[in-house]
Amino acid sequence: MLEATSRKAGKLAGEAAIPGDKSVSHRALMLGALAIGTTRIEGLLEGEDILRTADAMQAMGATVERSDDGVWSVTGVGVGGLAEPEDVIDMGNAGTGARLMMGVLAGHDMTAFMTGDVSLRARPMERVSVPLREMGAQILARDGGRLPLAVVGASDPMPIEYRLPVPSAQVKSAVLLAGLSAPGETSVFEPEPTRDHTERMMRHFGATVRMETDTQGVRRVTLVGQPELTAADVTVPRDFSSAAFPMVAALLVPGSEIKLPGIGLNPHRSGLLTTLLEMGADIEQQNVREEGGEPIADLVVRTGPLKGVTVPPERAPSMIDEYQVLSVAAAFAAGETRMCGLAELRVKESDRLAAIADGLTANGVAVKIEGDDLIVTGRDGSVAGGGRVEVRHDHRTAMSFLVMGVATDAPVTVDDAAPMDTSFPGFTELMNGIGADISRGNE
């Protein structure tokens, strides 16, 4: 394990180039591999999670290459054209990659084996397996549907209509990816809208995808199966989830003003922005535009006082990866912040709900869990810090508490910074480049 410590900073200033969006990067590689022709991808996130997906697509017959200028190219084999991999597919810590890959594999008449690191092997996969079995795939897994698992893809995938029991963009995406190989129409019904990167990118590659919402607010996403996907260049927007860390840091450190260019603002991903604005954050959107079907803007973030708010449970799907860093912001706010409906956080890379509570408590912040709600009593700008946080193999826990340390009275230490490289390579260097004081190991 690689320990890291964050110390109180002077003002943060300058421009920070956030890495590419992880969710879009996974999908660009997968759909590029399922298209005919060569897709050029600019701005691909080069974290470990994405590199695992790139390796997997290469192992199944696509050609995946990186040029010296950082542009990636994927020469695809067409829908249903992937070959059986000769070895086990190791997805490392990539939960999104693993679940989406199950959908890709389920639509191909072949047998593949998939595993991951100790954290990924503990995460539930059964909710993805259920609809894929309905489509004709066989999935053999450990107790609870956990990795390692075997996917025997359907020889004749069947289109289905599937109602998500709980909102999940990953389950929806797995069904749609398998549905590419099925005749007719595959539909997914969502009780609440979730991030729609898959639908947007499938359209970008030439698939027909319809979206309708009924009078009860249930969203139906329908894919017309067996399309001929055509290579289409992709510019990956900068990752909003990664931007959340310097964004919150700049809100907390007095006198700060930073610019975050080219941030993806997909409305199903940016619930944190809505919440921070409700808390009184000074965040300005500039140069609003659209690239590759995704809305993008430059964000200018300035320090200002924050107040506690109640975050409704229906917002959770649009900010499920940001509750840890929101909790850090809440610790510095005036009053109580209640985050409702966070059951999903218990089955992420770690039990994030417990990790947040333990980390805040270790740094002098009052916090309690009531059912699936997290309640943080803010310290109105003055947080003691001085704690050592156990990150439990979770990159977002590590980065969130290092952000906390830039504004606490005493340094904050995380026991393992190594997982940060899975989603945000260069996090320490980027933060220090705008004025933070974060050291790793013996630095």
DSSP 3-state assignment of 199? helix
The DSSP code sequence of 139-152 is EEEEGGGEEEEEEE
User: What whole-number distance in Å separates Cα of residue 150 and Cα of residue 141?
Assistant: 6
Q: How many helices (H) and strands (E) does the chain have?
A: 12, 24
User: Is 196 tagged catalytic?
Assistant: no
3-state secondary structure 68-125: CCCCEEEEEECCCCCCCCCCCEECCCCHHHHHHHHHHHHCCCCEEEEECCCCHHHCCC
DSSP 3-state assignment of 248? helix
**Under a CB-based contact definition with an 8 Å cutoff, are residues 369 and 339 in contact?**
no
CA neighbor of 430 nearest in space, from 235, 250, 237, 300: 250
CB under 8 Å to 295, separation ≥6 — which residues? 264, 265, 266, 267, 288, 289
Tokens 């696509």 label which residue?
Answer: 62
Amino acid sitting at position 250? A
Helix axes 95-106, 22-33, angle to 10 degrees: 20
Cis, peptide link before residue 227, omega less than 30° from 0: no
Which is catalytic among the residues 90, 196, 239, 321?
321
Distances, alpha carbon 139 to alpha carbons 59, 65, 84, 176, 362, in Å: 20, 31, 15, 17, 42
User: What whole-number distance in Å separates Cα of residue 314 and Cα of residue 220?
Assistant: 17
Tokens of 29: 């590689």
Q: How many CA atoms lie within 13 A of 188 on its CB side?
A: 30
CA neighbor of 281 nearest in space, from 316, 241, 250, 240: 250
Strands 282-291 and 257-264: unpaired
- Residues classed as catalytic: 321
